[in-house]
Amino acid sequence: MGFVRAKTTGFHAIVPTRDDPWRALVLREDRAAFINQEKLLSEGPLAQTFFGELAGIPEPFASCSDAAFEVRVSRYPRRAVFIVGDECLDWVWNGHGAKYQGPVTGHPGFGQHIPAAYRSDVDTIMGIPNEPYRTMLFKGNRCAIIEWGPQGRGCYFEGPLTELGNAHAGWKKLPADMSGDFDHAAFLQAQGVFYQTLLVKGDRALFLDWDSGPRIVGSYAQVSAGLGAMPADYHKPRLPAAGRFFGTVDDVRVDLRVDLEGPVPVVSGDTFKAPGGDYLNSFVLEGSEPVTLPATIAGTATFANSTQTPKISVVVDQLAPGGTATLTLSAADGTAATTHTCAYVSRFLRTIDWEVDAMAGTKPPVQYATTTDPRPPGLAKKLITVQSAYAEAGIELRTTGAVVNEVAVDQAGADLLWSDAELHAAMVRNFSGHRDVEQWKLWSFIATRHADQDGTRGVMFDEEGAQRQGMAVFYTDLVEQQMAGTRKEIRTWVHEVGHALNLLHSWQKNLAAPPQPLGPRDGYGDLSWMNYDYKYQGPNGETGEDAYWAAFPYQFIASELRHLRHGFYRNIVPGGNNFLAGAADRPALKQFDQPPANRSGLRLELYGRDTFSHGEPVVTEIKLSLDGTTPHADAFPNLSPRGDNLTILVTDPAGAIRPFRPIARHCGSPDRRVTLDAQTPALYDSAYLGYGADGLTFAQPGTYRLRALCKAPDGSTVTSPEHTIEIRSAKNKQDQQAGDLLMGSQQGTLLALLGSDAPQLAEGNAALDRLIATHPDHPLAVYAHMVKGTNAGRHFLTLGKNGIGVRPADTATSIEELGAVVETTLDTGTDAGVDNITLNATMRRLARAHARAHDLKQADTVLDQLVETFRDKHVPPPVLATIAEQAETTRTQLHDQA
């Protein structure tokens, strides 16, 4: 996260040269405009401007500085601090070189005095020239003044800008629309007059006399002819030509967005009850032709919920402080009109409070300078952070700071592995802004590694209750995959935040409800944050990472920008509609469009049980094999719906088709490949489908049809035949009672996660206990034993204010519960038990539990029994060989650990 927030102006910083009369350098990328109050003196490369005194500044400071301030110690040599992200360069001009390079907060003398609230996302920084080592930090409508250096007294003022008026009355006279959130501040030095400052905010400027107040307020040219004479690129805003307006009339509050960035204007908004804030509706209107301000944009809008007043008109004068937008909603004939006068509030179309917690030993989101690697043609030299990536899309991520929690790892071992259940529990406990409602707040957690240990780099894990409020990035995997500190890490962060805002992978937009069109080459041709670099397919046959980064402009594509800027409120706000879901009243798919012909040489099948009793967890088995057209074919081994390659469509008894969405979908796990041939003719997996991010999948009895779609390495989509299953009604009272104890959402979550200690799932765990206690012999009890035994057999991490607590594994309980699952499943006199793939995993977990109890002999017995069990089931020889290999791998691990 950057020390200085993303700027809105076309230039990065203003650095006074201490000359009298006033002259300054205005920095833009690796160039500088040399100006005075009256004119532009010169413009050119930074290294050549001002007589070459800044030659030699290293990258990324030479090209990507997003702030700079002077250090007035003596008149010569000149000295300034350049800031890029959270790093700074203290540079003495005219070839003297660096006095310091490193984190801003680590700058000797200066860094230690920066108040906590000013350690990230400050607006701008200014040196005070007549006071050695005195520096002023601006943030919102507040500031901090630090006196550092050899005799410095630290931060001696922090408070509202107006309180500076106690000594300098001019600060009390700032106009309302120019009273804070400044992009730049620079002293205007003149003979005998020290306290004059140039303040810049967007495309407006202010010449402030600290004692008498504003002398000029207006455009660049009105305030300073030198500023106005800069080349056009210095005047072009870095953020979209857009603005947000608020207004309240008749107990209805309107959040209005006016966007002039594209070829035609777009107006969108959300309405809420006032003062309570309950959501009412959303609308979007696209204009018919380009406009210039002031302008009127009118037409019939599209609404999230039907309305009797679909016609809107917006009259807007300026997208700047002091601007107004008048919104009128009316019936199609112009009657029933309601007018809202809305005041300009922000250059951003949406603002999100972003809280980041991190484990000790991890690092916050990377900052990436585009000068680090070869750039695509036309890409500017700039620093990219998570916030700047979204700022360029018109979205403000307003950080609340990173909290690093100290970690105790005594019981957890060297690697702290985080399950989805642990992540959700950590969010509920530690996200200071968390509520199970829709709100513009997002929590991110920098963890070590996911419990699946599949190379997952990130996960938008919050798919319980009010969804999309939490995401995590796994730092250990970023390091091991050599992505930490690179452009790939910044892509991971922007990508996961995108999921929390309901953006899908580029190749999965057709799975949305309602479906969205795929981009070029089935979405793999998108040059977007939401694509994977290694999946990229270019227009001329180029593929993979090198092709992606050679062309990627570090931005979202047009449809994603439309969603971020103008998507209906509940489609984007964290805690709103479920992931993939559009507006609540939009239907599911009514038909399945077959993908193009499969050319991969692979066959995909769903098989297993075709009848399930009331409440019984529905599990389908998955097989990917050769289709007989070729002796060998490449395949992705991950056949789980939680990954990126496989999707299962469920058609309900009414004929509606929905993709099954697991309660967490993992992002970025490497696409390893295996070759299917005579020795390895097939891959197998199973998937629990009973509960996902959309709740209970099979809530009603009836006939359901399942179909799987799997991506192949050659880009083909392999589609399975339909697998039909029947969900039966309860046969008797006992079946009804037992099934009901597995039907709740918390029980479904526990089945999906294979258990959890999370307090918010306590009622679900209690229901599983009642199932075992009241119906011990019922076939469904085996699933409660499996969940409890699996969870007991592993430690559970709890992130708290004092660090990470570890509940150690309960070996005795795990052996008892998992033993019951195996015994019930292998008992030929019952029709209860788990499927073959689940049985395999359960027996290996049971062996681990015995080894943890220091009984390696019994662990070996269980593993031997595992192989014999499947030999007796007469599974195909390659499958039996795989099971035997899994058993031996587990045996070796357990003996090595012992």
- In this predicted structure, the answer to whether residue 491 has a pLDDT above a threshold of 80 is yes
pLDDT digits (tens, 9 = 90+) for 405-436: 444 444 444 457 888 778 877 887 777 777 77
Tally of CB atoms within 10 A around 320:
16
In tens, the pLDDT along 350-396 reads: 999 998 888 878 888 888 989 899 989 888 888 898 988 999 899 99
pTM of the model as a whole: 0.80
How far apart CA 14 and CA 825 sit, in angstroms, is 74
Give one DSSP letter per residue of 75-121, joined into a string: SSS-EEEEEETTEEEEEETTTTEEEEEEEGGGSTTTGGGS-GGGSS-
* Residue 573, pLDDT score: 93
Residue 690 has pLDDT above 50, yes or no: yes
pLDDT, position 670: 59
CA dist 507 and 516 (Å) reads: 10
Confidence bin at 896 (pLDDT 50/70/90): confident
d(CA 554, CA 705) in angstroms, rounded, equals 41
- Per-residue pLDDT band for 820 (boundaries 50, 70, 90) equals very high
**Beta carbons of 27 and 12 less than 8 angstroms apart:** yes
Task: Write out pLDDT tens, residues 309-338.
Answer: 899 999 999 887 788 999 999 998 888 899
Under 8 Å between Cβ of 162 and 174: yes
Among 196-200, 418-422, 757-761, the range with the most confident prediction by mean pLDDT is: 196-200
Both structure tokens of 611: 């009848």
Amino acid at 752: A
Tokens of 361: 């030993």
Lowest-pLDDT range of 392-396, 437-441, 454-458, 578-582: 578-582
> Is residue 557 over pLDDT 90?
yes
Residue 587 pLDDT > 60: no
Structure tokens at 314: 């917006």
Cα–Cα distances (Å) from 173 to 164, 203, 219, 343, 762, in that order, read: 11, 20, 19, 21, 57
Specify the residue for token string 């990230």: 120
Report the mean per-residue pLDDT for the chain: 87
In the chain, the percentage of residues whose pLDDT exceeds 90 is: 48
